[in-house]
Amino acid sequence: YEARFGSSPDAFGAGIYDGVLLLAAAVVQVGAADDPAAIADAMSTITLPEGVTSSPLAFDENRTLPMDPLLMRIEGTTQVAVG
């Protein structure tokens, strides 16, 4: 990402990247991309050793990705983390 765009991904991009990593791992585990229920079940069991937003990367018992909340402020055209 940095080589192509010249900057680090923002918080939204990092979260989407981690989601795609988990989705891809679930599809591989299921062996097919055409069974949404099986993929959703597989995603709840997968733990990846490292993600962008958390390490390890895994859903909790509520099927959410545990991560610290992030508050952003826009300064001109730049996103700036607050706090």
Residue type present at position 15: G
With tokens 């099986």, the residue in question is 38
State the pLDDT at residue 73.
Answer: 87
State the pLDDT at residue 83.
Answer: 66
Q: In a 3-state reduction of DSSP, which class is residue 6?
A: coil
State the pLDDT at residue 36.
Answer: 95
Residues 6 or more apart whose CB falls under 8 angstroms from that of 72 comprise 10, 11, 79, 80, 81, 82
Give the number of residues written for the chain. 83
State the pLDDT at residue 5.
Answer: 81
State the pLDDT at residue 37.
Answer: 95
Average pLDDT over residues 4-23: 83
Write the CA distances from 43 to 14, 63, 64, integer angstroms: 18, 9, 11
State the pLDDT at residue 53.
Answer: 79
State the pLDDT at residue 12.
Answer: 78
Over the stretch 21-70, which tens digit does the pLDDT of each residue have? 999 999 999 999 999 999 999 998 999 998 877 788 888 888 887 776 67
Structure tokens at 20: 């795609």
